Structures are given as C-alpha cells and as structure tokens.
Structure 1
Amino acid sequence: MKSQDIVVLLKLVSLHEQEEEKGSGEFQWSFQGEAPYSVRSLETLLGISKTEINASIKRSLSTGLAIKDRESGRPKPNRRNLDSFIIHGLKFVFPAKPGAMTRGIPTAFAAPMLKGRLVSGGEYIYVWPSAEGHDMGQSVQPLFKSVPEAVQKDERLYEYLALVDAIRLGNQREVGLAGERLSERLLKK
C-alpha cells in the first residue's frame, strides 16, 4: 500500500457523491468524451500518473479498500473498510510530522471547512507547502506531492484530506472529533 492510494480512493468517493447529488443522467463532466472515473481523468484531476493510478486501484482491490461495482464494473471504495483504516491505522502507516514554517494551503484543523469545528491545541496552523498558498504555518507533507493542486479543483476532496491530516496529526480528542466527522461523511450516518 502507498499513501497515494488513499488520495485516489477519496477522489473516487468525491466523484461518486457528486454523481449521486446530480443524478447519474445529469452528471456533467468537465472533460468532453472522458468518463469521470477513467484513469486519464483521474490523472488530470489528481496529478498522479496513469500507471500509478492503475497500480493504486489494483492494490486497493487486493486489500479490500475497494471493490468492483456489480453494475458498472468500475472500482469503488469500500467505505466501511476505508473509514476503519483511516481512523485506526493511517497515522501508524503514514505518520505526519510537522516541519518548518512555510507558506501553503491550510490542512487539518486550519482548513476552511473545518475551522471552528475542530480546535487544535497547537500554536500554529498546519499547511501543505505550496507556492499558491496564502497562509503561513508548520509544513506537513501531504499523502502525495500533488495534493495541494488537486484540492483546489475539488472542495469535497479537500475536506476529506484535511480530516485525514487531522487524524494523522491530532491528539486523542482531536482524532476522535475528526474521526466522527469523517465517519459521518463516508458512512452517511
């Protein structure tokens, strides 16, 4: 398993939720002629190569974090397993360690959609290093290097990855709050 597997799976969750909201007949895709779930589209949206996306999907299917949809045949995240892995195992497999102060895109408790919902006991906010970022904070390496660009195209993905970082960086109380919010979103509780 690699860290980008989580990014790919959360993007698939985001695409599926967008499709559900709009209805499958009305789901408009920004790329003409490309299916939103195609490897080429995922490459464009995530900044991860087609080869890595293919390998990521195969790893996710073999670990049970993804399953093949019976109707369409396309891979879809196994939300229950994904939620359980992120909450209970991710911080041990892909730990995050705050680094030096830098300019970047807010993550974890500082992300715009989480501000006020989760409170960190830390003095500084956490950011993914990015030249396009407007905030100063302690740098945190994202799960994959292209995350800062990918989240600017998809607010839902941004929220999921910010929650993941809150789990990776937080203390027990913060992890509990972020885990509850993640479960609400992933499992639609």
Structure 2
Amino acid sequence: MKSQDLVVLLKLVSLEDDEHNKGQHLARHRGEQGDDPYSVRGLEAALGISKTEISASINRSLASGLAIKDRKTGRPKPNRRHLREFIVHGLKFVFPAKPGSMQRGLPTAFAAPVLKESLHSAGDLISVWPYARGRDLGQSIEPLFKTVPEAVEKDDGLYAYLALIDAIRLGNQREASLAADVLAKRLA
C-alpha cells in the first residue's frame, strides 16, 4: 500500500458522496475533455497522479479489500467500513505525520474548515500542507501525496476527508477521537 492509494480511494468516496447527495458529480467533476470522473483519465486530471499510478493504486486497493468492483458499473468502489477501520486504527502507524518548519500553505487537520469550529487549540500554530498559493502560515505537514493541495482546491469533499485523516495522524487521543467520529459519520 502507498500513501496515494488513500488519496485515490477518498476521491472515489467524494465522487460517490456528490453523486448520492447532490446529483452534481458529473458536471462538477468532469475533466476538460468531458472524461468520466471515475475513469483513470478523470482521476488523473482531478488528482495530478499519473494514469499508471492510478491504475496500480486501484489494483492494490482491490487486492487489500479496501475497494471492490461495483457489480453494475464495473467501477472500483471503496469499501467504506474497511477504509474507516484502516484510517482510524492503522493509518498513523503506516503513514505517520511529523510537524515540520513554518511555511505558507493550505490549512489541514484542525485548522481545515471541516474541523475548525469543533476544537479550539491553546496555541496559535496551525497545521498546513506546504503550498505556494497558500495564504495561511503554519507548521508544515507533508500531505499523503505531493499533489494533494492542488487536488483539494477542486474538491471540498476530498479536502474534508484528507484534513480529517491528518487530524487522526497528528492528534492526541481526544483530537484523533473527535476526527474519527466526524470521519465515521461522513463515511456512513
């Protein structure tokens, strides 16, 4: 398993959420050439990960049981229960997050919009993914994949999922538990 596998899986979850909740997924997520957002080409355009890596990622996720093939469409479909269990119980051991130097970037973890109002920190330091177009100054956290900041600018749902993951990776037990509860509700 590679870190980008989670980015790909969570993009698929975000697409499913949009499809079920808003019915706007096709218009919002179609690429410039009108690609199916679930296709390897559509995922490449949305995430900035090569088609070869997307395909390999999906195959690893299918082999691990974190994804299954949809019977009707043949598309890879995230196994939300297994994905949640892996993120909550294993992610911080497999892909630990270590705060780095102060940089400009995109807020993540408890500074991200999904959790910003849920928990207030005693300090002024926020966590950010380093990003040249970022407006916030904070302690840098390496994202799961280098293209995450660009990908989340296009997809609020993906942003929320990846910020929750960072909160689980970074937080102590109380913060990680809060993030895990929010994640469980979103993945239900």
Where on the TM-score scale, by shorter chain, does this alignment land: which range? over 0.9
Residue 9 of structure 2 corresponds to which residue in structure 1?
9
Q: Which has the higher mean CA deviation after the structures are superposed, 81-90 or 114-123?
A: 114-123
Which structure 2 residue ranges, 5 or more long, are not aligned? Answer: none
> Does 2:136 match 1:126?
no
Q: 1:77 to 1:121 in 2, by over 3 A?
A: farther
Equivalent AA in structure 1 for residue 115 of structure 2: L
Q: How many residues align?
A: 186
Q: Contact (CA 8 Å) 1:118, 1:178: kept in 2 or not?
A: no
One-letter code aligned to 2:156: E
Amino acid at match of 1:99: G
Provide the TM-score with structure 2 as the length reference: 0.94
Q: CA RMSD in A?
A: 1.5
Question: Residue type of the partner of 1:9?
Answer: L
Q: Distance in 2 between matches of 1:112 and 1:135?
A: 13
Equivalent in the alignment of 2:74:
73
| C-alpha displacement of 1:114 | 1.5
Match of 1:135 in 2: 136
Query: Which residue in the other structure is 2:93 paired with?
Result: 92
Contiguous gaps of at least 5 residues in structure 1: none
Q: Which amino acid aligns with 1:169?
A: L
Q: Is the 8 A contact 1:120 1:170 kept in 2?
A: no
- 1:118 CA displacement: 2.8
Q: Which amino acid aligns with 1:12?
A: L
Equivalent residue, structure 1, for 2:21: 21
Q: Check whether the contact 1:5–1:60 (CA below 8 A) recurs between aligned residues.
A: yes
Amino-acid identity (%): 68
In structure 2, the residue matched to 1:181 is 182
Q: CA deviation at 1:33?
A: 3.7
Distance 2:107 2:117 in 1: 14
- 2:149 is matched with 148
Structure 1 runs of 4+ aligned residues shifted over 2 Å read 21-24, 26-33, 118-123
3-state SS in 1 of match to 2:119 = coil
Is 2:105–2:130's contact at 8 Å kept on the other side of the alignment? yes
The secondary structure found in structure 2 opposite 1:151 is helix
Q: 2: distance between equivalents of 1:40 and 1:4?
A: 16
- Structure 1 residue 34: Cα displacement: 1.4
The answer to whether the Cα contact below 8 Å between 1:160 and 1:182 also exists between their aligned partners in 2 is yes
Match of 2:84 in 1: 83
Say if 2:26 and 2:36, in contact at 8 Å, map to a contact too.
no
* Partner-residue secondary structure (3-state), 2:154: coil
Quote the offset at 1:4 in angstroms. Answer: 0.4
CA displacement 1:19-64 (0-9 Å, x = unmatched): 112449x843533541110001100100100000000000000000
CA distance in 2, matches of 1:164, 1:56: 18
Determine the structure 1 residue equivalent to 2:36: 35
Residue aligned with 2:71, SS: coil
